[in-house]
Structures are given as C-alpha cells and as structure tokens.
Structure 1
Amino acid sequence: MIQALIVDDEPTHIAGLVRHVGWEELGYAPPLTAHSGAAALEVLRSHNVDVLISDVSMPLMTGIELVSRSKELGYRLQVLMVSGYNEFEFVQEAIHVGAQAYVLKPIKIEEVEAKLTAFRAAIEKQRDIEAETNELQEKVSGSLDVVKERFVHDLVLDGLADPDMKESWVKLLELPDLSRGVVMISFGYDRYLDGGRDARSRIVRGSGFLKAVKVSLSDFEGVIAANLGAEEVVAVHLNPLPEEQVRMDKGISFVQQWIREQYGSSVTVGISRLCKDWSEVPLAYKRVKFMMAKARLLEGGQVLYEERLDETEFLEHRVREEYIPEIVRMLEKTEELPRAVDYAGSVLDMLMAHHSFAYIQAFGFGLLSELARRRKTEDGAPSDPNIPAWQRLIDCSAASQVKEAVMDYIARHAEAELNKQNGQQHHLIQRVAGYIEAHIHENVTVKQLAELHHLNASYLSVLFKKSTGKTISEFVQETRMNRAMELLRDPHVKVYEVAEQVGFQTAAYFAYLFKKTTGYTPQEYRDYYY
C-alpha cells in the first residue's frame, strides 16, 4: 500500500480529505496527518511516506518551505500542493523546489483522486525499477563470469588506475597481492580463415572459444579468463611460477588445436612480459596486440612473446596511431587543453630517450601538419601551416630545441583556442542576458532561450552558470528585483504595476518574493528609501 501524509493548519480541510477520498480503492493506506510543517517533518522521520499533500499557506513554515526542507533531508516524495486561486504563483515556486502537481481551492475530490492515481502509477514504476535493479545486482553478484569479464576489461584498458576501483575488485574477486606479478595472455581468433561470419555462428564460436581457454588453463591457480569480444579471449595469470611455463605452453597448444579441429581456423596468441603491477598491464596489452596484428600479415596461428617485440617499430606505431591523434584530440577540447600540454611534453621526453634528432624533428613536423589540417579558417576552409613555426623547426640543430619549438607552438595553440572559446561563450551569454533583460516582463523559459540561440537547454544552463556564477533562474529573479527597485523609486507607479512590468501575474507573489529577496515589502522599501 502507498502511504500519504496530509498537512494543513485547518483541521476541517484535513478531515474532508480523509473522509471523502477513496483511499483504499486507490491503493493507499489510511493517510497520516499533521497540522504544521514542523509536525509534518516529525511524521516523515518516523514513517515511510510516499505522497505529501500540503496546503501552501501555513503559519511559521509554508508548504513551499516544507517541500524544500523535505527534499533537502533526502525524502523521495510525490508532492501535491493545495492553494487558493490568488496563490497560484506560490505553487510555481513549490514546483520549482520539487512539487509534482497542485489543485486549487475549493478542492474537488475527483481532481485529488486523479492526482493520487497518477502518483500511484509513478511510485509503482519506481518500485519496479528498484526491484529490477536489485535483481540485476543479485544476478551480477551470482554470475562470476560476468564479473570476471568486467574485471579483465577494466584491467587491460586502464590498469585499475582508480585506487577505489582497484580495492573494490580485490575485495570482490578476493585477488591475492601481486607478490610475483601478472602475465597477460591474448588469444585472438584468426577469423579471416573462417567462412562462418553470421551473427549466430560468431556467438556460438565465441562461447566455445572461451570454454576452450578456461578448460585448458583450469589447472592453474590465479588464472582469470574472459571474452573481450567474439574473436578474443584474454587470460590474466596472477603470480605465475617459473615451473608452470611448460604446462602453460601445452594449454595454449590445446586451445589452438581445438579451434583448428572445431572451426578449421587458427588462433594467434600473444603473451606479455611479467608485469610487476596492475598499472603495467594496459601498455603490455597494446604491445602484444601490435605484435599479433603485425604477425597476422604473414601467418596466423603463431605464439608471440612481448620480450621479442621490435621496440622501434612499436614506438613508431604509437607515434602515428596514438600520440599525435591523442594530442590533437585533447587540443580540440577546451577542458583538456592544460593536460594536452603536459601530455605532449611527456611524449617528447619519451621519444628523445629512444630516437635520433632527425626522428624527433619529423615528429614535430607531423604534429604541426595535423594541427594545421584540423584548424579551420573563419570561412570553414583548412588554415595554412604556421610558417614561422615550421621555419623554427627547420632551423633546429638539437632534439632539445625541437622540443622547445613544439611545446611553444602547442602552448600558443592552446591559448588561442581557449581565448577563442571564451570569447564565443562570453558573447553568447551576453546575448542571452540581454534578451532576458529586454523581455523581463515575459515569462521566458530556459527551453525558449535555448531554441532562440540554437543550443541544447542543458548545455545553455551549464554554460550560463559557469560564465555568470548564477543559474538562469537566479539571474532572472535578480534582474526582476533590480528592475522593481528602480520602478519603486517613482511614487506614481503603483505596486501592482511594478509587478506587471517585471513579469509577475499577481502583486501578492511579487510582494512575497520581493520581501524574501530584500527583507522589505515593496511599500516598506519605497517608504524607507524614497
């Protein structure tokens, strides 16, 4: 059953709702009641309440303040506000702080019952979602395969870089300390040798592939295997012993033979070096995958060891496929500009430790070329290369000079992008603020503002707050109050006229909000100051 709480300082109003609403037929338990906001908060603390029905106008604590306070305390409630016709804008304030619906006095029971029916549907959906979520959590906890697959995925992609995430995985899977380290083994299905490419065959084959790896490595302690796709199984061997190498080789051969017999295809295997820490696994995985891709160009079904990797080839691959694209990507995102400079410096330091001056200089030219290609002129055409920067690179005679030239160019590039972005945002927010000020007598919504300026409403809200330090609602209210104070200087302008000119439908709500903002009623403000 759903539990409602009725709050009103008039006992007769509460009695009428308790008596005339068909609570049981609507799926509700007999309602709880309270005669003040403070008493209602006590009821909320001691009972599980789903629906709050509150009058707007109550002494000491209004219905608006009650709703706001209950939300601050973390109560998840469906809220129905009850108000008089001339209090309608108070209800708008209540909806702003979290109310879902309202009814006007005199109350019509059928309206209340319609709202309660809608609330029941929303609450039941929420309960269904929570039940399904809890059921899913239980299934995930009970399905070790799903958990292991997620663990292997996180490990090879980011090396459990987040300390909290690492600790949670250690507890969940009861992982041992890496006293000897971890070895990563990638089993890659050479599907170009297999004619079956339809979805069903891939799913069946992927399941069989994983089972073959698990069976072949089942005798080893500390091995966790999982699919990273229909054509790849990754196994991590925790704290491997030297004497286990021969048995591991036999297990790998078993997988290759089984796939050959079942599907007539081959499996390329890449075995990483011994990683002393979780954080080393992602790079080892990249190195092994590079070896496997290169080997497959000649022949599938090989077993490859990371120790035999050609470091120069791999580094050139990373420069071409990873470092330059990543620097360019980061320089295109305003929030990542500072990190882009640090990342570029780290890449250059690493290259200088392994490569000649000519290679470092070529890297600089490649990076500048890609940045010039990505940068657009005002008419949308690609911009010309930065000739002075290119000339400076040509004039360099040492790797350190190349680094200095490249870093200087990147820093200036980042600063230019940041200034451009800030300038565009500043002008945009100025236009939005100007529109609000010019139309302060209208009730312009955030959605309307966003559509007028061809933006997403959520993005506009975030951008406005970032640029001004205020939400759009706060800016509108502040602008209205400032305009109202200007108008109140003229004693010939009636208070209700001031309310209309700053966008309020009723003088009562204007007076309420003005006093809440300034500490004075409009008339007190006018009398005191003018």
Structure 2
Amino acid sequence: MIVDDEPMQIQGLLRHIAWEKLGYESPLTAESGEEALALLETTPVDVLITDVSMPGMTGIELLAKCRSDYPHLQSLQTVIVSGFDEFEFVQEAIHLGAKAYVLKPVKTEELEQKLASFRSSIEQKDRIEREMESLKEKMTESLDMLQDRFANDLIEGRAQSGEMIDSWRRLLELPGGDWRIRLYVFAYDRLQDSARHDAARRIWLSDALLRAVKTGLSGFEHAYVGRTGADEAAVLHLNAPPSERARIEKQFPFVQEVVRESSGESVTVGVSRECGGPGEVPTLYKEVKHMMTRGRMAGAGHIHYFDRAEASDYREFALKEEEIPEIVRLFEEGDADRAKARVHLAFDSLETRPELSFSYVQAFAMGLISELARRIPRTADKGGEFNVRSWQRLLDCANLREVRETTLEALSRYRQLEDKEQDQQRHHLIHQVASFLEERLREPVTVKQLAERFQLNPSYLSVLFKKETGKTISEFVQEARLGKAKRLLQDPNVKVYEVAEQVGFQTTAYFSFLFKKATGVTPQEFRDYHYGE
C-alpha cells in the first residue's frame, strides 16, 4: 500500500517501480492516513509505503496506530518517505517499527532494493511458519513425544491453567472431570564409573531405562511415561482404581530386573501418595525424590512408598530447604503478596505439627529473616540492625502466633528497606542517564544505545526514565536541546544555524519549526526580544 496526500507522488511510484518483477501485486493506494486505516482493517498488506507529512494523520501517527490498535499488522514492513532529512523523524519511525526511511525525491533504485529485501524477509517468515506447522503435525503423530512433554509439564508446574489442561485432554484424549493422580519415579542408583564418564553410555542407559518402563507398564490405561532426567523416568497414573494400581505395582520388579540384566545397573522406584489435581504434581515429585534419597541410605534397588511418616519428614525438610528459598525468591522478584501468603502457609503447616518443638518454629523464622537480611545492602541496614532487632523480638516470643506476627512485621520492614534502596538506585541511575544525554545533545543517541551503555533492557529503561522524570527520553532530549538553545540565543555573536548545530539539529529549518512550536516564537524573534532587554 502507498499512502501519500499528493496523487502525483503515488502515480510516480506506481509507474516507475517494477512491482511484478519484484514479486508484488499492484499496490493499493490511499491519500490520507484515515483512508489507509480503513483499507488495512479488511485487506491483507505486507508492505506499507507512507509519506510523513500529510494533513490530518501523519505517516508517523499512521504507523503508531497500526502498532497499537491492529494486532494483525505487527509484522507490517514499513518504508517512511519524507522531504525532511531529520534524525528526529528517523528515530521516531524506527522506534515504531519502520524498516526503512527514504528521502524525497524518491530514487527508484533505492526503493526497489528495499522492496526486494522485504520480499526476502516475508518469504523467510512464511517458510518458518510452514515449518512450525509441519513440526506441530509431526509432534501430534508422535505419541511418545507427547507423553514425555505432558509428564514434564505437570511435574515442572507448567500445566496449571485450565486452558493448558484442556489442550492436553484433546491431544492425549485424557479422562474428563477431576483427576486422582499417582506418580511413579524410576531412577538409576549410583552408576558405575564407566557410565558416569562416558556420554554415549549415559545416553544408552537413559534410553534403556525409558524402554524398560514403557514395556513393563504398557497396556495400562491412563499411564503416561516421560523422561525427567538423564538417569530417570516418571509415570503419571490418572484415575486408577485400587485393582489396577496393584497390577501396575507388580510390574516394578520386572522393570528393575530388565534394567539390571541389560545394563548391570540397579534402579530405585518411588511411589507417591495420591493427589487430587495437576497443581499438586510438582509437590508429589519433590516428596518422592526426597523419600528416594533417604531410602538409598538403606541400600539400592528398592521400592519405596510414600506414607504418613515420610510426609512428616518431607514437610520438615521442605520448610528448611524449600520454603525459605522460595519465600526469598518471591520477595526478590517483587511479589511481596505471594511471599507473605507462602509464609502464612508455612506457619499453618507448623501449627499442624505438634511433634515439632517451639524452638524449631523460632529457628525457622530466624533462618528466614537471616536469609533476607543477607540481601539488604549495607547502605540500607547499617550494622545489621534489621537482623539483630528481629532476632531479639523472636527470642522474646512466647507462642507460635507471636512468632508469626513478628516474622510478618520483619518481612514488611525488609520490603521497606528494599524499596528505599531500589528507589535510591533508580534515582541515581536516571540522574546518570540524564547527565549523559545532556552532555551529548549534538549526538543522535538512541534508546538502544543508552540501554547498552547502562546495561538495561531498552523498554525497562524507557519506563524507568518516564517514572523518575515524568518525561519520555525523547521529550527530555528535546526540552534539553531547546533549553540550551535559549541560552545560546541570548548571545548575539552565535548565529542561529550555529545554535541549531550545537544542540543537535541537522537543519536550521527543523530547529526553527520545533522552537516555534514549543515557545510560540521563532529563534530570531526570541533573540531580538532578549537582546533588546
């Protein structure tokens, strides 16, 4: 599509560009941004060529509208055409996703080169999409691959949403309604030295274990096998009645024997408790792995069943080894609400454990606070005051309720210290960015270059800058340029074109245009007024 308010410009491009030879259909045309949008809503367009300066909606505004309001136009290849050789236009166009920028009068050869490049990019994108569709079809045909991915998605907690579960139901024809899930884990014990240091041997052993598990458990409805590690396989068993569970568990010694005869290696099997939904599967896996690790102390090649004693032991382990790191991680990611909810769950669990001493409860709270205190910068917590005061208050607590309240108060204090330190760091960083920009007003510094220099994501830097200064980076640069220009214009010995150059404008015309737009007077009128004073 070609968009230009001058019909002669459109006709010139239609006549002089070898559209068919370049692989394009005859272009659509529009003489305004509004007309172009109406066409783009209903007609598929791969390449947009638009003039910048048009009455009503400019080419830049048209491109911004396409990006913000029309998801199907996100991959649109855009050429911006303008009579102004201005960095500001180029910068804004590229920021909005324009792929090329050409000046009037348009050179046919230059535009044809860009169109040929676009054509190549579009063909490559189409080829990738076709290959992805082909891959999806192959994946659907491979039941083993789907089962493997399904098992891993549940164990790693990636299949939590209803939409994801429904998609797996369709792909694997899983049972409807709620699920009762049991997990079986098969894992090699201590591998022989020859296997640990031989990559080919490790791969062979991994495949051998997976084959043995699939062979031994074949024929059982709703049993899904996946490889969960180089030395491990897992089976998810859905809605199995007691009789089928008994039959499948009788196959475990068979699997162990097949592996032992083929490889000389022993395999330990872990059997989980039954849970009531996909959301609990990651916990099932952790419980079974913990049980198997402890069980190996009594010897290799056994079958272990998760029971109440194991559950009690695992909860104590999880509180120390898993809950504290997870709570700290949530706080570090800025998710304080979820972190506090996790703390409440931990204390709820402690309340149901009458066998645990009150000293254990205090030790858990002190361990959590100490782990957080280690992450507070010294500037925010001089002399470790946070840690010392929190510990003293915990030692003065008389019951679990007081420990819970004291811990939550300490977490709130920690969040305040973190926020204060981050605010100071952000303020210092943006001050550095602003100073850097003010020192280089003559240079066309892009957001990407700024982000690379200060080691930040470009989008995050833009958001941070706006939040701290109340202005976008472009607005800040333009205000800084105009501010410096005002100071220079008060010196009658500096020519207007010299002022434009010193503040980073490539042409005096564009400098005068922006200056008048911002101040209401031309640079010369501004100078005359102040010189008269």
Q: Is TM > 0.5 for Structure 1 vs Structure 2?
A: yes
How far apart in 1 are the matches of 2:374 and 2:87?
58
- Which residue number in structure 1 is paired with residue 46 of structure 2? 50
Contact kept, 8 Å, 2:86 with 2:506, in 1: the verdict is no
| Alignment map for 1:324-335 (pairs within 5 Å) | 324-331=324-331, 333=332, 335=334
SS of equivalent residue, structure 1 residue 315: helix
For 1:112, what is the secondary structure of its paired residue? helix
Question: Which residue identity is paired with 1:157?
Answer: E
1:152 counterpart residue number: 151
Is 1:327–1:343's contact at 8 Å kept on the other side of the alignment? yes
Equivalent residues in 2 for 1:60-459 (5 A)? 60-71=56-67, 72-73=69-70, 74-75=72-73, 76-85=75-84, 89-158=88-157, 160-177=159-176, 181-193=180-192, 195-197=194-196, 198-307=198-307, 309-331=309-331, 333=332, 335-354=334-353, 355-375=356-376, 377=378, 386-433=387-434, 435-436=436-437, 443-450=444-451, 453=454, 455=456, 457-459=458-460
Give the distance between the partners of 2:441 and 2:78, measured in 1 at CA: 30
Structure 1: gaps (5+ residues): none
Structure 1 pair 338–137 and aligned structure 2 pair: CA distance change class (3 A): same
Cα separation, partners in 2 of 1:340 and 1:424, compared to 1, 3 Å = same
User: Given that residues 461 and 471 in structure 1 are in contact (C-alpha distance below 8 angstroms), is that contact kept between their aligned partners in structure 2?
Assistant: yes
Following the alignment from structure 2 to structure 1, what is the Cα–Cα distance between the partners of residues 53 and 156? 57
Aligned equivalents of 1:408, 1:44: Cα separation in 2: 56
CA distance in 1, matches of 2:322, 2:172: 32
CA distance in structure 1 between the aligned counterparts of 2:418 and 2:400, rounded to whole angstroms: 27
Residues 1:26 and 2:27 are matched in the alignment: no
State whether residues 84 and 106 of structure 1, in contact with CA within 8 Å, keep that contact through their aligned partners in structure 2.
yes
Counterparts in 2 of 1:515 and 1:142: CA distance versus 1, 3 Å: farther
> Judging changes above 3 Å, is the alpha-carbon distance between structure 1 residues 36 and 278 closer, same or farther for their aligned structure 2 residues?
closer
Q: Which moved more, 1:111-120 or 1:423-432?
A: 423-432
Between stretches 299-308 and 5-14, larger displacement belongs to 5-14
Q: Aligned partner of 1:299: which letter?
A: G
- 1:136-175 per-residue CA deviation (whole Å, 9 max, x = no partner) reads 2222233232222222112123284323323332333332
Q: Mean alpha-carbon deviation: is it higher for 139-148 or for 18-27?
A: 18-27
By how many angstroms is 1:250 displaced? 2.2
TM (norm. structure 2) is: 0.84
Instruction: Letter of the 2:221 partner, please give it.
Output: E
How much does 1:292 deviate?
Answer: 0.6
Q: 1:390 offset after TM fit, Å? A: 2.8
Instruction: Measure how far apart 1:317 and its partner are.
Output: 1.7
Q: Deviations over 1:8-29 (max 9, x none)?
A: 3444433443333333443334
Match of 1:386, SS? helix
The AA in structure 2 aligned to 1:78 is: Q
Deviation, structure 1 residue 433: 3.6
Cα deviation digits, residues 468-489 of structure 1 (max 9, x gap): 4553234434666788899999
Q: Bigger shift: 220-229 or 429-438?
A: 429-438
Letter in 2 for 1:363: F
Q: Once structures 1 and 2 are overlaid, which stretch shifts more, 495-504 or 95-104? A: 495-504
Q: 1:410 to 1:208 in 2, by over 3 A?
A: same
The aligned amino acid for 1:219 is G
Q: How many Å separate the matches in 2 of 1:14 and 1:25?
A: 19
Tell me: CA distance 1:65–1:180, structure 2 relative to 1, closer, same or farther (3 Å): closer
Amino acid in structure 1 at the alignment position of 2:388: I
| Aligned residue type for 2:301 | G
